[in-house]
Structure 1
């Protein structure tokens, strides 16, 4: 079964979203069989969804695992030195879809729509993390 994500609410730096701090370390297996360990203290907003879309795509819920790992991979610029920027960002985005399908297999259409949004708009967050 899945490991548990333990977070505590943290005051947001702006009024744009809620922030959550990982209270315990969290490990996830990626699609290529490697694992990533997100350390306690890591801060995420989970899914960065505009407020007007929350009724369709809530920022917190079934996708927490996928969003947490995706945020962490972006913040690390995971595998960028090895793969280059485009391929590393695509790998991180692909992990979002892989993990979303892993936890919410019955709704692959919604998972794919969220993945497309990550692909379209993630470039700005990836470059911001540099």
Structure 2
């Protein structure tokens, strides 16, 4: 749920927006804080699909949190797999329709790898396979399951 109000202002080129103040979204007691001044393109959808999936909509808060988690500023330890699950969860909480949210989720799972940025401090656990059952993976996901309750 939103802890702070989302306030954006468009940048000169019109394709990116900047957070006017810190944006905080809470998932089962865990707060993700997107810093003031963070620049986002909202939903990273190719222009050809904008009539179906415009860059802004009910899912805008989910897209901003997801952009932050994919950015080099993410020092939470949340990895790409969890970032994508969080994106899906927030869209569900925001009332985004089943078909739209699942299509957007599948798109970030398939095409998001190229946008996954190097982290300054902590990338989190990097999955070895689609279904990863290593001890390290089990420990990592067990820890985050307790925190996020996903």
TM-score (norm. length: structure 1): 0.81
Residue 111 in structure 1 maps to residue 101 in structure 2: yes
Where does residue 30 of structure 2 map in the other structure?
Answer: 34
* Greater helix content: 1
Equivalent pairs, count:
115
Deviations 1:15-46 (A, max 9, x none): xx71000001110013x531111111000001
Match of 2:16 in 1: 19
TM-score with structure 2 setting the length: 0.71
- Structure 1 gap segments, 5+ residues each: 81-87
Which structure 1 residue ranges, 4+ long, deviate > 3 Å from structure 2?
none
Any unmatched runs of 5+ in structure 2? 119-150
Deviations 1:58-103 (A, max 9, x none): 11111110000000011126415xxxxxxx1110000110001111
Q: CA RMSD in A?
A: 1.8
What's the secondary structure of 2:24's corresponding residue? strand
Q: Is the 8 A contact 1:77 1:89 kept in 2?
A: no
